[in-house]
Amino acid sequence: MKVIKVINNNKAGEVAGDIILNIVKNKANAILGLATGSTPISTYKYLIEKTKNQKVDWSNIKSFNLDEYKGLSSEHKQSYRYFMNNTFFDHINIDKKNTFVPDGLIETNEQAAKYDKDIKMAGGIDIQLLGLGINGHIVFNEPGTLFDSITSIVDLTQSTIEVNSRFFKDKKDVPNQAISMGLNSIMKAKEIVLIATGKSKAEAVKHLIEGPISKDWPCTILLEHPNITVIIDGRSIRITFLKSFRGFFSLKFN
């Protein structure tokens, strides 16, 4: 695990963006795993800026998003498909036919599981961008999620609903279910970049870096991934756990 400490989320977005751009520039048909929410917005802004300045070509890139709210169509303004189009895809020359987001209108786990098969058929994800929930959830894999989980319909915890309510006009409008890639699905990515910034993420970051691996903190499964970079800021880091690195982690300051 490589841990990079930055000054804020904007810098985190630049670091993550450069890692992603390196893959896009060196592999014209790369397959990206993308995330939504507030955390990756700085990454997308940076990628858009660099794409314009450096004329980066996305025409043969494919992407698979991590999740979608159950019950929301792709046209819904709070859907993750709408978010991705508005925040990122509309601003680069990617073919939207090559951008995939789970279908929020599916009804069964059998339908949801097809997403994993589609990723495998495409060749697997070269790099997966992740955020981190305050309770250690990755995507919508809440505490207690089995480590061998695949893409499925999941229930959202009250704490996650509370956090996501800021994106909706009324709290009662927040969906209580989502279609989410599973932990096993995520672990199949060849490389992972996780961003965790802000004081509210400090406890989750501590568990992510220190362990132990536990279903109580789903993020800890990432300790078993062979190629992961964790980008954190000063508010999300606790000095106490730096002592546990013991040479196993590579800590870099940007």
Instruction: Check residue 186 and report its DSSP letter.
Output: H
By DSSP bridging, strand 152-155 and strand 31-34 are unpaired
Residues noted as catalytic: 67, 135, 137, 142
Cα dist from 147 to 2, 38, 178, 196, whole Å:
22, 25, 18, 21
Cβ neighbourhood burial of 39 (10 Å; 0-12, 13-18, 19+): buried
Instruction: Return the sign of the alpha-carbon dihedral for residues 77, 153, 207, 165.
Output: positive
Residue 219 to residue 1: CA distance in whole angstroms: 13
Residue 28 to residue 1: CA distance in whole angstroms: 26
- Residue pair 184/218 in contact (Cβ under 8 Å)? The answer is no
- Residue pair 249/243 in contact (Cβ under 8 Å)? The answer is no
Residue 178 to residue 104: CA distance in whole angstroms: 7
- Residue pair 20/47 in contact (Cβ under 8 Å)? The answer is yes
Token pair in block for residue 80: 């993750």
Q: To which residue do tokens 């609903």 refer?
A: 161
Question: Which segments of the chain does DSSP mark as H helices, in order?
Answer: 9-26, 41-54, 80-87, 109-122, 158-164, 183-187, 202-210
